[in-house]
Each structure stands twice: as C-alpha cells, then as structure tokens.
C-alpha cells in the first residue's frame, strides 16, 4: 500500500503535546519552552508541540513558527517532532504544514478545520486533500487529530478510508483523543495493518493500544509524568505491564479531575520553583492558590515527582 | 454611563456578514468582493465583513487584512464597516482589531475565542479585556458576537454586565445569533437602555428587535435580499410592517432550509451570470447542480430578484 521509497522511519512511542509557557505579559516564553522540550526528549518523549494542551489555538501562526524555529535552532532532533498544524483556515494549515515539513519534522498532527459544525465528509476530505496537494512534498506525513469533544468535528472511519485510498503515503496515522476505546479499536482493526499508525490520545489506553498493534500514545500528562509512561511503552510485554498501567492511571486521575492544562502548569511551577510557569493565556485561567495547594497534596499522596525539574526554571 | 466625548455616531440599521467570493484556485477574489460590498452599500446595507457567513474563519489574518485594505482603497466608507475580528488566538484578535480601528472602522464584531469549550466567564472576560487593553484606542467599539450553536462558547448576560462595567466605552453592543428570542429580549431589557446596542442575528427578529428598542440586524440574507430588509428597517413603524416581516421570512425560509452560504453564493452566481461566485473554501462545499436548480425554482416561486446583480460578475 505504501511506497517504501519515500517512507522515513515510522513514528512510535510516547509523544506529548508540549505545554506552551508564557511570560507574565502573556507572550510565549521561548526559554522555558526550549528547556521543557529538551527535558522531555531526555525522558524519551517525542514532541507534539502545538497540540490542544499546548494552547496552540491561542497562538498565532507567527508565534508557532517562531517557537518551532527556536526549538530546531536549539538542536532538537526533527525526527522526534510532530507539530500540530491544523487550523480553522486552510491557508494557515498549509503555511504551518509547509514550514514543518521544510524543517524536516517527522510528521504533523492535523486538526480538521473546526469553526463550522456539521460539515460533510466531502468538505473535510477536500480540506485535507487541499493541504496535501498544496504542500506537495513527498516527505509529508499527516497524523489526523480526532478530538470531537473539543473540535466538535469528527474524523470518521469512512473519511480515513477515503483519505488513505487517495493519499496512502501522506496519511500516516491518527491520534484518537475521543476517549472512546471502541473507536480506537475500530481504527486499529481497519487501518493499522495497512501501515496507518494509531496513537491513543492518552496513556489511559496505552497498553490496550499496544496490545492491539498500535504505535503508542500522544498524551498531555507526558508533560509531567514522562518517565513512567515511557517505561510502560518499553515494557508493555512484561508481566508487570498491567500494574504499570494502573499506576499511570492513578497519577493521571489527579490531573484529569481538574482543568488539566492549568493543573500541569501549576505542577511544573511547583516542581521547578519557577512560579511564572503557572501562567495561561486567556481564555484559560490558572488554578487559584487553594486549588494549587490541594493538587500538590494529592500528587504527594501518590508519590509523584518530576526528576530534574529544576532544569525547567527560566532565568528571566 | 458613556463618555460622550469619544462616542462616534452609534451604528444602526441592517448589516450583512459579507460573503467572501473565491477564485477557482480558492484564493479570495478581491474584485468580486469589492463589487459585492459596493452593491450592498448602495442598497443601504452596512458591511460586517468577516462574519460566519463570510467563511472568515477559513481565511488567514493576512487574507483578512488584505481584503479590508482593498475595500477601503476602493472608497468604501469606514463608518459603514464592522469587520469581524474575533479569532481563537488572542494575538490574532488583537492584530485584526488594531488594524480595523486604525483604518477608522466604526466597530468590530468579536467572536469569543472558540477552540476551548467549557471555558469560564473569568477566562472570557480576560480575553476581551486583554484585547481592549492591548489595542488601547479610545475609538474602539466592540460588538460582541453571540453564536453559541457554532462557536460553542456562550457570551452570557453576566459576562456582558461585567464587561460593560469595566469598559463602558469600548463595549458597544452585541449581535445575538442564538436564534433564541428570549435571550435577545433579555439583552434589550438589561442593556439597551444604557446605550449597549442590540442587533438581531437575522432579519427574522428585525421587527421584534426594533420594537424592543434595538439597533437593527446583522443578517446573512442581507447579501442577497438587502432591499426589502432595509425597507422594513426604514418603515418598521408603518402599518404594513408585519406584512413586510412575513414577506422577508418567506424569502429567508428558502435559504435557511439549505446550507446557507452555499445557497447564497449559488444565488449570486445565477443572478450575476458569473458561475465562479458559487465557489466555497473547504470545509464548506457548493450546492450540486440539482440542488442549485431546485433553489432557483423556489426563489422564482416567491418572486425573488436581485436588482443590479449583473454588476457583481467579475472580469476575471
């Protein structure tokens, strides 16, 4: 099905939608961003910069381009990068995708256009097809981003089938953030055998996804709990895999019952000693002092730690 | 409540979210756009360029800036312009708003940031406040754009009250596209007497809105049926106002039961004799030939016409 001549190494493992740190004036903190990315790479986590948990849709195209350029200039390996490039506007998606491919990124994570609701599969097919045709680069590898509870626009199995038929090389896989295991299972069954790589949208489904032949997970909590998640990926066939999964679930639950982005940023502020890490860009808001205190107490109760987090503090 | 020293003439009347015509290559057709805008102005319709029915969220910031610049260069009067400037990204909203205010536009129509769902009023307040504080121009007049069925983010009465208290001069009014008359009525009662101008989101509620003291309507079908809608605005206190409203409703019903943007563009293609007008940018799709034929038949049955529509065809 795939043209092997143009296939780079397929992406596998644990990726994280990298949190975007902001300065107190709400501009992106390039220094914190680059430090956090290298800390994640050091833990074995690939970088899905500009995902939902990155507040990516609160950033302009220019801000995303600048952050990616800074990350590459810092020496981050492009083959570990899967930046989010899907936007409402076709022209924005094309610009961001072209930029990522030109930079050598291994793949891109692509939301469907998400302003208009109730759009047809025909319209979504045309959107993705227009991007692929305009970027016109055989290195392009698109991971479709299915997160209907946020985007409110569904990437159906029928749409994936049609896209794979038309663009077997460019359509590389999916991040299924629906939280609906039956949907992930259907994708694994229908498309993974043909080389379409299925990533679970959180580590909650990591073990199930790997047992189903999938490629790994792209998970928000990879920002704060990368080590143990990567360990499960490396040892998923070991006897203690279910116990590892249960432990991951317990940690995740602490974050998941709160506004997750705010909770993760608050956690890094605590672990790094850099209070500015807690900043979010509107419309999202940070935890208040009491919420932050309760979060710390609960994380301590499950033995949570971020080894080396002092490296995440910024000099300014 | 308002500082009269900085108040320009308040906007009233019928506005239209101007359709954005595209060339066959999906780039904006500046020529068709400018012609259509001047045709609308000639019918007495103000220009809410870059609204939902403009496919504005399928356009990049640069495309919107260029179209507005071309429109102003063509001689369109800034005091009849209310461009949409609300985007997901705070920085995009600030850039577009600053550009519109600098160009002298009478107001801006502002969506809330719409990617994240379930956001708090605190987060939305901070979004609008950040825009107002960053643009920092006493000429800024924001019309809040409430269209929860598409944006999935609600502009509540409590949020409006808080914004009006903090920014009585910059918060100028609202477009209520919820389709929920009880919400429009509540806005009219709570805020219109204080000088917050309520526009109905379609002509269906034009007469009710004017009787309730409101400012007019901002309506998609203003693109194709401007004359009769403006006539109702001008004669809403006459004895035949209810009959005029009923006639408007009959025409609107023909468009509303179809994908409206596609139907309106198909109608202009028919009336102008310029087939390229039917083009939409993905993810939206045009009517097929049979759908277009049925639309024409139904419009002819209600005596629909667009006087002077031949002026809307393009030379290229």
pLDDT 10s digits, A66-122: 999 999 999 999 999 999 999 999 999 999 999 999 999 999 999 999 999 999 999
Q: Say what the pLDDT of residue A9 is.
A: 73
Q: What is the tally of structural domains in chain B? A: 1
The answer for B 260-299 residues in CB contact with A (under 8 A) is 281-285
Q: Has residue B211 got a pLDDT over 50?
A: yes
Domain of A64: which CATH number? Answer: 3.20.20.70
Q: Which residues of B touch A124 (CB under 8 A)?
A: 282-283
Q: Which two tokens stand for residue B150?
A: 């598409």
List, for residues B146-155, the tens digit of each pLDDT value. 999 999 999 9
B54 touches B28 (CB < 8 A): no
Contact criterion met (CB < 8 Å) for B60 and A91: yes
Domain-embedded: residue B33:
yes
Q: Say what the pLDDT of residue B316 is.
A: 60
Domain-embedded: residue B47:
yes
Contact criterion met (CB < 8 Å) for B91 and A285: no
Segments forming the whole domain that contains residue B43: 9-238
Q: Say what the pLDDT of residue A8 is.
A: 60
Q: Say what the pLDDT of residue B315 is.
A: 81
Please state, in angstroms and as integers, the Cα–Cα distance from residue A15 to each residue in A174, B169, B212, B245, following that order.
13, 47, 55, 57
Q: Would you say the C-alpha torsion A113, A119, A120, A123 has a positive or negative sign? A: negative
Contact criterion met (CB < 8 Å) for B282 and A149: no
Q: Which residues of B touch A284 (CB under 8 A)?
A: 116, 119, 123
Q: Measuring CA to CA, which residue among B227, B290, B291 is closest to residue B262?
A: B291
What pTM did the predictor assign?
0.96
- Which pLDDT band, with edges at 50, 70 and 90, does B65 fall under? very high
Probe site for chain A from B23, B84, B261, B282 (most A CB atoms < 10 A) = B282
This complex has an ipTM of 0.95
List, for residues B14-54, the tens digit of each pLDDT value. 999 999 999 999 999 999 999 999 999 999 999 999 999 99
What number is the average pLDDT over the span B225-249?
Answer: 98
Domain-embedded: residue A124:
yes
Neighbours of B30 (CB within 10 A): 19
Q: Say what the pLDDT of residue B90 is.
A: 98
Probe site for chain A from B28, B84, B115 (most A CB atoms < 10 A) = B115
Domain-embedded: residue B286:
no
- Which pLDDT band, with edges at 50, 70 and 90, does B1 fall under? very low
Q: Say what the pLDDT of residue A315 is.
A: 80
Taking the C-alpha atoms of residue A102 and residue A71, their distance in angstroms, rounded to an integer, is 14
Q: Has residue B4 got a pLDDT over 80?
A: no
Domain-embedded: residue A250:
no
Residues of chain A with pLDDT below 50 are 1-6
Domain-embedded: residue B27:
yes
A232 touches A255 (CB < 8 A): no
A162 touches A126 (CB < 8 A): no
Q: Measuring CA to CA, which residue among B180, B203, B301, B296 is closest to residue B252?
A: B203
Domain-embedded: residue A279:
no
Domain-embedded: residue A308:
no
B270 touches B292 (CB < 8 A): yes
Neighbours of A62 (CB within 10 A): 15
CA distance B234 to chain A (A): 33
Residue B283: cis peptide before it, omega within 30 degrees of 0: yes
A83 touches A50 (CB < 8 A): yes
């Amino acid at each position: 099905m795939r043209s092997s001549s143009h296939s780079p190494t397929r992406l596998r493992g644990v990726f994280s939608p990298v949190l975007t740190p902001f300065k107190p004036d709400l501009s992106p903190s390039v220094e914190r961003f680059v430090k956090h990315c290298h800390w994640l790479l050091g833990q074995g986590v690939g970088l899905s910069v500009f995902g939902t948990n990155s507040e990516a849709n609160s950033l302009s195209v220019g801000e995303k381009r600048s952050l990616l350029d800074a990350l590459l200039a810092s020496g981050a390996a492009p083959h570990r990068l899967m930046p989010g490039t899907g936007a409402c506007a076709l022209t924005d998606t094309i610009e961001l995708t072209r930029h990522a491919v030109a930079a050598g990124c291994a793949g891109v994570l692509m939301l469907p256009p998400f302003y208009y609701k109730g759009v047809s599969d025909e319209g979504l097919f045309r959107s993705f097809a227009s991007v692929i045709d305009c970027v016109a680069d055989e290195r392009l590898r698109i991971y479709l981003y299915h997160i209907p509870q946020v985007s409110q626009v569904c990437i159906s199995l029928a749409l994936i089938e049609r896209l794979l038929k038309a663009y077997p090389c460019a359509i590389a896989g999916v991040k299924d953030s629906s939280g609906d295991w039956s949907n992930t299972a259907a994708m694994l069954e229908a498309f993974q055998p043909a080389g379409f790589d299925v990533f679970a949208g959180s580590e909650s489904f990591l073990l199930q996804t790997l047992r189903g032949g999938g490629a790994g997970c792209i998970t928000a909590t990879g920002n704060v709990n990368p080590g143990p998640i990567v360990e499960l990926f490396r040892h998923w066939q070991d006897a203690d895999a279910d116990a590892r999964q249960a432990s991951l679930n317990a940690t995740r639950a602490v974050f998941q019952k709160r506004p997750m982005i705010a909770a993760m940023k608050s956690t890094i502020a605590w672990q790094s000693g850099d209070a500015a890490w807690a900043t979010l860009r509107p419309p999202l808001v940070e935890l208040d002092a009491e919420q932050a205190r309760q979060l710390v107490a609960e994380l301590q109760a499950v033995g949570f730690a971020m080894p080396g987090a002092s490296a995440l503090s910024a000099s300014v």
